[in-house]
Amino acid sequence: MKRKHFIYILAFLSFVLCIFFIQESYAKYLTSTSENASINVARWRILVNNKDIREGNTADAVIVPVFDGNENIASGIIAPTSEGYFDLVIDATEADVSFKYNINFSVNDDSAVSDLVATKYSINNGNVVDLNRDNQSITNEVLQANNTAPIYIRVYVIWDDGENSAMDNTADTEATKNGKTAKMNVNLSFIQLK
């Protein structure tokens, strides 16, 4: 009987060891872990003349140009052949992506002068670039790595009184009487580069 009892104890110990090894190897295959990945989302913060464009990817503005005057025309006054300018400041130093911008110009419907034309521009006080009268736009790309300071764009405008002008002398005279200012529409669009 002792031998039978010994075999039962040995069988029971073998069974327990067998269960232990099966459970441990089974646990090796069922072990799991859970991790979280944290990735920062790129910022798209672009200011145009201190106005945030995050509400959309375009910005529209009505700009009143500055007219410095000359020996024949007083400062701050517009007259046929007057030359002036307006400035745009694009601050994208808090944008984490490269982008392309496109700026289009047109005369505002409420402008006193319908013959206001953007003639040229400069970026960051660089070379002055002529604009085509039929396609008044500026397009440029800004790479994220080089985006460390605001971009200053000066756009030069003129009251065109030449052969291509829409206003005649009577309309020119009326423009000076109606008390309105000369206004330009400026449309800026921004597109992320891939």
Q: Are residues 16 and 69 in the same domain?
A: no
More confident: 178 or 156: 156
Report whether pLDDT(100) > 60. Answer: yes
Backbone φ, ψ for residue 77 (5° rounding): -115, 140
**Pair 142, 98 in one domain:** yes
Query: Are residues 49 and 20 located together in one domain of the fold?
Result: no
Instruction: Give the structural domain span for 9.
Output: 1-34
Instruction: Output the pLDDT for position 127.
Output: 96
Q: How confident is the model at residue 30 (pLDDT cuts 50, 70, 90)?
A: low
Question: For position 109, what pLDDT does the model report?
Answer: 87
Q: CATH number of the domain at 179, please.
A: 2.60.40
60 and 124 housed in the same domain: yes
pLDDT at 33: 63
Instruction: Assess if residue 163 is contained within a domain.
Output: yes
Of the chain, the percentage scoring pLDDT greater than 70 comes to 85
**Are both 109 and 167 inside the same structural domain?**
yes
Q: What is the pLDDT of residues 41-86, one digit of tens each?
A: 777 788 888 888 876 555 666 677 888 888 888 888 777 888 889 9
Q: Which amino acid is at 102?
A: N
User: What is the pLDDT at residue 163?
Assistant: 78
Please indicate, yes or no, if residue 162 is contained in any of the structural domains.
Answer: yes
50 and 118 share one domain: yes
Give domain status of residue 133, yes or no. Answer: yes
Domain presence at residue 147: yes
Indicate whether 4 and 49 sit together in one domain. no
Residue 29 shares a structural domain with residue 119? no
Residues 154 and 64 in one domain: yes
Average pLDDT over every residue of 163-181: 74
% of residues, the chain, pLDDT over 90: 22
Mean of pLDDT values over 21-37: 59
* Number of domains comprising the chain: 2
Give me the pLDDT at residue 36, please: 67
Domain match, 1 and 89 both: no
For the entire predicted model, the pTM comes to: 0.73
Tell me if 166 sits within 8 A of 127, measured CB to CB. no
Token pair 């994208």 in the structure block, residue: 92
CA 31 to chain centre: 48
DSSP secondary structure letters along 143-191? -GGG--S-EEEEEEEEE--STT-S--HHHHHHHHHS-PPP-EEEEEEEE
In this structure, the answer to whether residues 115 and 157 fall within a common structural domain is: yes
* H helix count then E strand count, the chain: 2, 10
> In this structure, are 9 and 96 located in the same domain?
no
Establish if 156 belongs to a structural domain. Answer: yes
In a domain, 69, yes or no: yes
Taking the C-alpha atoms of residue 117 and residue 105, their distance in angstroms, rounded to an integer, is 8
Tens of pLDDT along 109-152?
888 888 888 999 999 999 999 998 777 899 999 998 888 899 99
Q: Which residues contact 133 (CB under 8 A, 6 or more apart)?
A: 117, 119, 164
Q: So what's the pLDDT on residue 19?
A: 72
Q: Is residue 39 part of a domain?
A: no
At 6, is the secondary structure helix, strand, or coil?
Answer: helix
